[in-house]
Structure 1
Amino acid sequence: MTATRATRQRDVISRVLDHAEGPLTVGDVLEQAKNDLPSLGIATVYRTLKLLTEQGRIHPVVLDGETLYEASGKGHHHHFSCNRCGRVFTLHTCPVSLPKGTALAGGFIVQSHEVTLYGLCPECAAKNGAE
C-alpha cells in the first residue's frame, strides 16, 4: 500500500509542477498538492522533489538564494520575479543574445546563461495603477 501512496504523491507533485506558471518553492508545492492530498507532509514533498530531481523530471532554480523547482523540458527560458507578490513566472522570450561559445572580454566563454527580471507582474502592476 505504501508504494501506491508514494506513486500518487509523486504524480500529484509532478502535476503541480507541470501546470505551474513558473518555478515554485517547496511551500508552494505543498500548498497546491494538498488540494488533492490533504494529508501530505513537508518531509514527503522534500523527498519527492529530491527523487524527481535525480530522475531529471524537474530541476532546481535558485533565485535570491532560495531554491525553487520547475518541470524539466521547457527549453531555453528565463524568469520574472514580482517584487510585490513574490510570484515567479517563466518567460518564453530571451532578452539576451548570447549563443553558446560567445567569447566575452577577459577570455570568458559562454556555455549557457540565466536571466531573472524583477518588477511588477501584470496583476500587481494593475493594482499599482489603481492605488
Structure 2
Amino acid sequence: MTKTRYSKQRELIYENLKARCDHPTAEIIYTELKKDNPSLSLGTVYRNLNFLADAKMIRKLDVGQTIVHFDADLSAHHHFICNECQQVYDIFYNDEIISNDAQRQTDHRIEKTDLVFSGTCKNCLKN
C-alpha cells in the first residue's frame, strides 16, 4: 500500500478487489463486505476506491455507463462491455498497430491507449 495512514477498511476493500476478476462496482463490494463488517458504509467504500485509484493501485473504469467499475489488474489490457447484461470482461490485445497508426495522425505524444469494446457477450448470445 502507499505511504499513508493504515486503514483496515481500505485494506479489506483492496484485498476484496484484488481477489476478483469481475470488475465490480462500489455497491457490489460494499454488499459483499458489509456481511462481515456491519460498521462499513457505502461512502467509505467509495472514498477508499477513489483513494486507491488516485494512488494508481487500481483502475477506475469508465466504460460508457453511468456506473463506475473497478479493476485491480494493472497489467496492459482492455475491456469489453456487454450491452445486454452490462458485464465487463478483460481483453488482452496488443494495440501497438492502433497506437502507432494514431501517433502518425497527431502531433501529440500518445502514452497510453484504453480501448473499450462493446457488443453482446457469449452468455447473452446463448439466450
2:72 maps to amino acid: A
Q: Does the 8 Å contact 1:30/1:41 carry over to 2?
A: yes
The structure whose residues are more often strand, as a share, is: 1
Give the aligned partner of residue 25 of structure 1: 25
- In structure 2, relative to structure 1, the CA distance for the partners of 1:41 and 1:63 (3 Å cut) is same
Query: Aligned-pair distance for 1:88?
Result: 0.8
Output the amino acid matched with 1:121. Answer: C
C-alpha displacement of 1:50: 2.5
Checking the alignment, whether the CA contact within 8 Å between 2:13 and 2:29 is kept in structure 1 is yes
Aligned partner of 1:68: which letter?
H
Taking the TM superposition and a 5 Å limit, the aligned residue runs for 1:76-95 are 76-94=76-94
TM-score, normalised to structure 2's length? 0.73
Paired position in structure 1 for 2:122? 122
- Matched residue of 1:79: which SS? strand
Secondary structure in structure 1 of the residue aligned to 2:62: strand
Q: Please give the root-mean-square deviation of Cα atoms over the aligned residues, in Å.
A: 2.9
1:79 and 1:22 mapped to 2: Cα distance?
Answer: 11
Residues 79-88 or 103-112, more deviating: 103-112
Please give the alpha-carbon distance, in whole angstroms, between the structure 1 residues aligned to 2:65 and 2:29. Answer: 18
Matched residues, percent identical?
Answer: 24
Normalising by structure 1, we get a TM-score of 0.72
Alpha-carbon displacement from aligned partner over 1:74-110 (angstroms, at most 9, x marks no partner): 3210001011111111112246623469633354543
CA distance in structure 2 between the partners assigned to 1:42 and 1:62 by the alignment? 19
- What is residue 103 of structure 1 aligned with on the other side? 103
Measured in 2, the distance between the counterparts of 1:99 and 1:14 equals 31
Aligned residues of 1:52 and 1:58 also touching (Cα < 8 A): yes
C-alpha change, 1:85 and 1:107, in structure 2 (3 Å) is same
Tell me how far 1:65 sits from its aligned partner.
Answer: 5.1
Q: 1:110–1:53: structure 2 CA closer, same or farther, 3 Å change rule?
A: closer
Change (3 A) 1:98 1:29: same
Give yes or no for contact 2:23–2:69 (8 Å, CA) kept in 1.
yes
Q: Secondary structure at the match of 2:23?
A: coil
Report the number of matched residues.
Answer: 122
